[in-house]
Amino acid sequence: GVAGMTVTDSGASAALHRVFGYEAFRGEQQAVVDHVIAGGDAVVLMPTGGGKSLCYQIPALVRPGTGVVVSPLIALMQDQVDALRALGVRAGFMNSTQDFDERRTVEAEFLAGELDLLYLAPERLRLDSSLDLLSRGKISVFAIDEAHCVSQWGHDFRPDYLTLSVLGERWPDVPRIALTATATHATHREITERLGMPDARHFVASFDRPNIQYRIVPKADPRKQLLAFLREEHAGDAGIVYCLSRNSVDKTAEFLSRNGIEAVPYHAGLDAGTRAAHQARFLREEGLVVVATIAFGMGIDKPDVRFVAHLDLPKSVEGYYQETGRAGRDGLPSTAWMAYGLNDVIQQRKLIQSGEGDEAFRRRANQHLDAMLALCETVRCRRGQLLAYFGQEPDGEHCGNCDTCLVPPETWDGTVAAQKVLSTVVRLQRERGQKFGAVQIVDILLGRRSAKVIQFDHDQLSVFGIGGELSEAQWRGVVRQLLAQGLLAVEGDYGTLVLTEASGAVLRREREVPLRKEPEKPVSAKGAGSR
């Protein structure tokens, strides 16, 4: 710890004022810090921007020895250490980006007790040499950042995290603190089990981010919709746009730039120099838009990100929450905007089926997707649904700051429409060996003699042309909602639509199918009250 500071309660507050210049702890910080300084283990669940860093930095300063921080964010270590050094904290890091001399210097500082904080990549702790080094110095606390990376079911699993239970075994007397912004009960339990922290105290902060407005719109022409959203509500603002593929990242960045919005791409296919330059610009500039795959954003501390937009559906509610959570860390009004459509559902289901992993893994992945779809299709308050997912009781029925609260969606009786879709699927399923997806079904319902309809004589089916009452977009919406409700399923790599066990009840008229009316015009924050 810092010379001259003693291990007392006031040591924590003193470090907060003197070193960081903050007036008071926020939320659970004080409780966490006190517990860890006293030598207890802690599991800390706090949303992004909640202030997790201080929870281990203060104990590291107050307790004698060096605080060892395990973090997967190698790219950020240099910045984190520089920022701490600027505050007078003796910080260092060890990762694969350093040359031999740099590493030797840090090792020497650690052994001499001259470091308050030492940042390490998790893969370091696989090496006996690293563990031996740590044994020869004095450690005040172990912090395991982004602790959800230990979860094999999560979206950020890192095998190296599984080896971190060694810390508790080798250093039973050093307190450990695991921190994450991901917090379903399952992840929570997994962190405790896999890191071997049965006696840890759990600190769970509220997951509500009241300044973020949640909106999910039906996808039509996503880039144009995005452009309109940015022009109307976020001209000149910094923000992040997430796309699933590198190709669509590049195209979207180009499209925005061509239309007068400063935007740069970020994905793993770009060389490291370009990525670093784009990230640096994003952090430094006020109004830059980064279009990125999910590779971008973890650990990035930019307080004035005014919007996070998704052009493709995230794989899970956890992912959605983390990504949208990068907006509005300064507490000012921000928007989480997403365009979502039928192809998202089909594509994600296909990805799960053709991806790696065993049957259990697929089942979990499908469950994650189901929860995400439920959030997209809900007619209830999105914030309420989001908080409920994380096991938190919402404040009331309506938050007043999400699209479904601002403009309550209407439902309509989609039973007949559902029956028409399902009976078409039944007829197509009878053609053994042939696989048909949503396009063919909608063409048949609308009575379109497309090449593929003619080829398979589908204009001879009794269902041909029975769907004239709805538009193509509306039929696609019906199919999407049937998929989301589990009344249809996707099979194989081609997006073939098939019935589910639940479909029968609809076909037999034993079950009604309420569907969400898609808004004619997108909901805009303008003129709507916020809370």
User: ∠58-64-68 over CA atoms, to 5°?
Assistant: 65
Does residue 119 contact residue 77 with C-beta atoms inside 8 Å?
yes
Is there binding between residue 49 and ligand ADP (CB under 6 A)? yes
Task: For residue 194, count other CB atoms closer than 10 A to its CB.
Answer: 17
Compare residues 303 and 357 and give the one whose CB is closer to ligand ADP.
Answer: 303
Binding mask 267-306 for ligand ADP (x = CB under 6 A): ----------------------------------x-x---
Is there binding between residue 321 and ligand ADP (CB under 6 A)? no
Compare residues 51 and 122 and give the one whose CB is closer to ligand ADP.
Answer: 51
> Considering only CA atoms, which of 352, 293, 299, 289 is closest in space to residue 322?
299
Task: For residue 87, count other CB atoms closer than 10 A to its CB.
Answer: 12
Report the alpha-carbon distance of residue 66 to residue 139 in Å, rounded: 5
Compare residues 137 and 409 and give the one whose CB is closer to Zn ion.
Answer: 409
52 binds, among ligand ADP, Zn ion, none (CB under 5 to 8 A by kind): ligand ADP
Report the alpha-carbon distance of residue 284 to residue 279 in Å, rounded: 9
Compare residues 50 and 495 and give the one whose CB is closer to ligand ADP.
Answer: 50
Min CB(5)–ligand ADP separation in Å: 18
Task: For residue 303, count other CB atoms closer than 10 A to its CB.
Answer: 11
Compare residues 44 and 253 and give the one whose CB is closer to ligand ADP.
Answer: 44
Quick one: which segment of 18-26, 126-134, 234-242, 441-449 binds ligand ADP (CB under 6 A)? 18-26
Quick one: which segment of 25-33, 61-69, 250-258, 431-439 binds ligand ADP (CB under 6 A)? 25-33
26 binds, among ligand ADP, Zn ion, none (CB under 5 to 8 A by kind): ligand ADP
Min CB(317)–Zn ion separation in Å: 15
Min CB(145)–ligand ADP separation in Å: 8
Is there binding between residue 79 and ligand ADP (CB under 6 A)? no
Is there binding between residue 26 and ligand ADP (CB under 6 A)? yes
Min CB(450)–ligand ADP separation in Å: 50
Compare residues 76 and 381 and give the one whose CB is closer to Zn ion.
Answer: 381
Compare residues 15 and 317 and give the one whose CB is closer to Zn ion.
Answer: 317
Which uninterrupted H or E stretch holds 489? strand 488-491
Identified binder of ligand ADP from the candidate list 53, 192, 252, 404, rule CB under 6 A: 53
Is there binding between residue 25 and ligand ADP (CB under 6 A)? yes
Does residue 302 contact residue 233 with C-beta atoms inside 8 Å?
no
Q: Is 336 helix (H, G, I), strand (E, B) or coil?
A: strand
Quick one: tokens of 98? Answer: 């350093």
Report the alpha-carbon distance of residue 47 to residue 328 in Å, rounded: 12
Per DSSP, the residues of 285-335 read -SSPEEEE-TTS-TT---TT--EEEESS--SSHHHHHHHHTTS-TTSS-EE
Quick one: tokens of 489? Answer: 């399923």
Report the alpha-carbon distance of residue 183 to residue 390 in Å, rounded: 6
Is there binding between residue 203 and ligand ADP (CB under 6 A)? no
Is there binding between residue 18 and ligand ADP (CB under 6 A)? no
Identified binder of ligand ADP from the candidate list 52, 155, 234, 275, rule CB under 6 A: 52
Tokens 């996070």 map to which residue? 308
Beta pairing class for 488-491 and 496-499: antiparallel
> Considering only CA atoms, which of 494, 482, 430 is closest in space to residue 456?
430
Identified binder of ligand ADP from the candidate list 54, 147, 256, 346, rule CB under 6 A: 54
Task: For residue 477, count other CB atoms closer than 10 A to its CB.
Answer: 21
405 binds, among Zn ion, ligand ADP, none (CB under 5 to 8 A by kind): Zn ion
> Considering only CA atoms, which of 528, 212, 531 is closest in space to residue 395?
531
Residues within the interface to ligand ADP (CB under 6 A): 22, 25-26, 29, 46, 48-54, 301, 303, 329
